[in-house]
Structure 1
Amino acid sequence: MLIFLQERRLPLSLCGWQMRNRLIYLPISSITEWFAIPMVNLRVISLAAPFVLCTSLFALSLVQAQSLPTKKKSDISAPAPQAKTVSLSNIPHAVATAFCETYPNAALVSATWVERNAETCIKLHTSEGTKTRDLLYRLSGELIEMAETISPIALPEAVKETIHEEFSRAEILSAKRLVSAAPTLYEVTLSFGAEKETLIYDAKGVLVRKVEHLPRAVQKAFEAQYPRAEILAFSKQDEDGFVRWVIESREGQSHREIVYAETGEVVAISERLFPIDLPEAIKETLAESFSGSTLITAKRLTQVQYHISVSDSSGNTMLALDATGKLLDMDAQSEHVLLSLATSPAPSQDLKAEEDAIAPIPVALPDPEVDLAVALKPIKVEEPLAAIAAEKKERPVIIVRRYYAPSLGWIPPIMRLWRPSWWW
């Protein structure tokens, strides 16, 4: 019995002989004597070769992966630098002076006009290094509120102990210090897996309140109506059981305050306007009546109301409701439009006569036709168990014969290449 060894590409070394591109005949007895192993071990060696090759490639990939530079956690969580800032010339002079004196190294990111307790204020979003602040000023330059980001380590010990006792598995995502005329509060945002919750504590670790999150319907309505706008702040208002959500947003140089119902319906929209964007008629009226005055703010208010007329035994009644279902006062609204109604031309006598001639049109629905033969026919009701039993009796039974053939699926992939010729 002879073994044929042929090598065409790589040199083959066997017992010290170098062979390239040539055919060699070796007796089987010589090979078993040289290696001092039976011929069966040659097959074992050939089977182990792919395993050794795969192990080598896996080890090489691990070495290459360890040599790659790893990204530090600080690089991932580092906040991106602000792309642009707002000029101080866009805000009142008194506010700009107070801001520069208190925070000389801070940069102004954005400025928003807001309403607080029926008073027009300005809210500044600033940044100083990795720290951000939200400053609420009066137009006179007086600071009302400040919200400053702090490290979770800087929280009072009482607050940290309360969070550890009540939310031992929660992770603190962010923390803020809220400074106002009232005692200082601390706003903490916790993460419970995929859920988040924002809580506000006092310095003693007592829970003051939970920060409400926008309902999903309100958030979807806002994103659909203003896809490019950014939500700056939102609040929840409850008036006589009617819940409203007020969203302060910004889109470029435009600032809006939208009031939503819980269902996502718009109640009112207040949009800040620049003097140049006012209608020409309003500019002319201001120039004639208030020539020596200074224009501070201008807003366009849009209210969504539903006017419904109902009739009963006492007569007709006109109702006004908003999207939350709250009943509005028609008399109070009529005072706002009294001037426009006084200047509008009176309707002509012919038009008034035509309107009075129109009366409510009664609508008579036809009587439905009923087939007495079908209506009086008795209905056969079967017991549930009897109906199921009858269905089982009528259900056909199909017997399928299966034939099984030998398969190589249970043989390991490597062993299939070296199976004997007599194997199936």
Structure 2
Amino acid sequence: MALNIRYLESEIQDQYLNDHSDRPWIIGFSGGKDSTMLLQLVWIALKKIPAELRTRHIYVVCNDTLVENPKIAQFVHRTLDRLQIASAQQSMPITVHETTPSLEETFWVNLLGKGYPAPNNMFRWCTERLKINPTTEFIKSKISETGEVIILLGTRSAESSNRARSIKRYEVKGERLRKHILPNAYVFALIKDVLTDEVWTYLLQVDPPWGGTNRDLVTLYRNANGGDCPLVIDDTTPSCGNSRFGCWVCTVVNKDKSMEALIDNGEEWMEPLSEFRDMLQEERNNRDWREKRRRNSDITGEDVWGPYYPEKRAYMLKVLLGAQREIQRTEPDLVLINYQELVAIQVTWHRDSIFKYSVAEIYNEVYGTELNKTDFSDNTIFEKEILQEACHDDTAFGLINELLEIQKSRFIMVNNYGLQSDIENHLEYHIKHKQQDVH
């Protein structure tokens, strides 16, 4: 093998043993070929060190955007489970951690709840919310605990010219580590000079120390025809390329080549996902889908492209739930949108003075269930029956109840910022429509 594995292992061992600080290592793991090679090299090199010297802790961090390609996500989760079990069995100082976006920042709460348009190159709101922020918060928490950290990333100069420039920019001449944009964080780019063919040769010849082989990984790449979607911890790292493993809802690219390839190679159950993504792609610039006002702004006009209209948000939720139900016929454990997100969407609609549409009613229509509206909200703050008796007419009851729902939306999302503005906006909205009804 042309690649000098012994040299890479000695680099790992020297850095691990001769760094006299207690700063832990954080390994960014996406489940792709590069991060798999990186983790294998580190694991095997450290196993050759006596157990009593393996005192520096290593965090393996994997980011789940909650909209990952399901086939890739299933593979990654199986791998993470193996990692955790093998680490304990082999007395390795390694723990596995998965980061996810906060509830208010998930893809569905932004798209269907707030009405954000499907991302494009001009407005790629997803990368920071789904990828950068969750993992950055984890890294910051470790910096806070230990003072400094070393981040090991599977970035390679051969992957793209942008990555090569990024690696070079932060490199410290004559040093093994380079500075990260986060204070007190350093990057150890162990495989930055490794070529793609060398990565595959290594993975095919060396089995992972946590068990099994890399044949499933090779098959996944072959069937998906995809490239890596790296762990993204800052805006210098490209989110994903045109041919990649990544979010199945990605509309930044014109075609999701990896999902199309998986479908062509026997994963027909994924067709509803492809159809939903194509709908987002096609309707993103449909003027009839977008409000003529900016969200949380006074800017209005015919030339203004704002959030999706409430009826379009409700329609997309219905189509998404329909796709989920269809997929669950063959993949019963697969969830495209979780219960917490459904609650948050209803809460966000109330915050935006959208009371015409009910998440529970949409869910019932798709699944044939009989859920109450309160199943996707918090009905414990105020007893509506008492409120109904106290009000002299239905209009007053409706308005007060809507204002209470707005207040509760802030309570549920643990975010009271802007509550007064939300209430004032809804009162103005109510008065305006009441005047229109009179005329």
Structures share fold, TM-score greater than 0.5: no
User: Which structure: larger Rg?
Assistant: 1
Greater per-residue strand proportion: 1
What TM-score comes out, normalization by structure 1 length? Answer: 0.22
Greater per-residue helix proportion: 2
